[in-house]
């Protein structure tokens, strides 16, 4: 999967969040989008995943040399983000079933292995609304990492995770991120330290 940005900018009302982004994201590489809180990292990620349109510029997607239409980009990506909601009326088991109606498991993974990976054996049939914030974050990450998609997008991936949870996240990176286009929005070194490339959002402020 390749994402090509040409003079991309996004504004809200008259205020530019960023402008003049020329960049190419390439399959098999890992990228960190860096900047302080409120700088526009999440906004750029939403442009990259097709959920926001750029105010100016052009964005192109290609997979295996073939153009991908913007309205089908979501089928090629997995996303974990603080603003991405789980269905709280579902149990964990039901949420996994629902998610993988739309995505395929990565090779070698299935529902039982994903639940084992979460290491929450007593919560399989527990309603998600009774999960702690850390448990919800673990579930979001597991769903994203274990889906067979060429793109993996992570926004503040260790939000609400303790030290053990951070180590668990880094284990997911080692096991499931290889060979994918991985993009991490963060301002914490431990979340993006593995990334090969860095893009600072403040370089694109007007």
Q: What is the pLDDT of residue 100?
A: 96
CB–CB of 99/148 below 8 Å? no
Residues 6+ apart with CB under 8 A from 168: 119, 138, 161
Of 206, 189, 92, the C-alpha closest to 198 is 189
Where are any strands of DSSP class E within 35-180? 56-63, 66-68, 77-80, 151-155
Those residues of the chain that have pLDDT short of 70 are: none
Q: What is the pLDDT of residue 26?
A: 95
End-to-end CA distance of the chain: 29
Q: What is the pLDDT of residue 148?
A: 96
Q: What is the pLDDT of residue 5?
A: 96
Cα 155 from Cα 134, distance rounded (Å): 15
pLDDT tens digits, residue range 115-156? 999 988 889 999 999 999 999 999 999 999 999 999 999 999
Q: What is the pLDDT of residue 120?
A: 87
Alpha-carbon distance values, 113 to 104, 110, 123 (Å): 14, 5, 15
pTM (predicted TM-score): 0.93
**What is the set of domains in the chain, with CATH numbers?**
2-204 (3.40.50.300)
């Amino acid at each position: 999967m390749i994402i090509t940005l040409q003079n991309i900018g996004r504004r809200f009302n008259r205020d530019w969040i960023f402008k003049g982004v020329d960049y190419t994201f390439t399959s098999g590489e890992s990228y960190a989008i860096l900047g302080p809180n409120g700088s526009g990292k999440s906004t750029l990620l939403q442009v990259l995943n097709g959920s926001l349109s750029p105010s100016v510029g052009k964005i192109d997607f290609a997979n295996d040399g073939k153009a991908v239409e913007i309205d089908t980009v979501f089928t090629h990506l997995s996303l974990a983000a603080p603003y991405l909601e789980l269905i709280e009326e579902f149990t964990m088991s039901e949420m996994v079933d629902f998610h993988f109606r739309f995505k395929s498991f990565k090779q070698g993974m299935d529902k039982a292995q994903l639940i084992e990976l979460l290491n929450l054996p007593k919560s399989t049939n527990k309603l998600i609304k009774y999960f702690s914030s850390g448990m919800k974050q673990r579930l979001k990450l597991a769903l994203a990492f274990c889906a067979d998609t060429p793109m993996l997008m992570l926004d503040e991936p260790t939000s609400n995770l303790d030290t053990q949870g951070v180590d668990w996240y880094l284990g997911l990176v080692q096991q499931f991120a290889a060979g994918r286009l991985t993009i991490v929005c963060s301002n914490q070194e431990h979340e993006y330290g593995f990334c090969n490339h860095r893009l600072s959002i403040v370089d694109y402020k007007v």
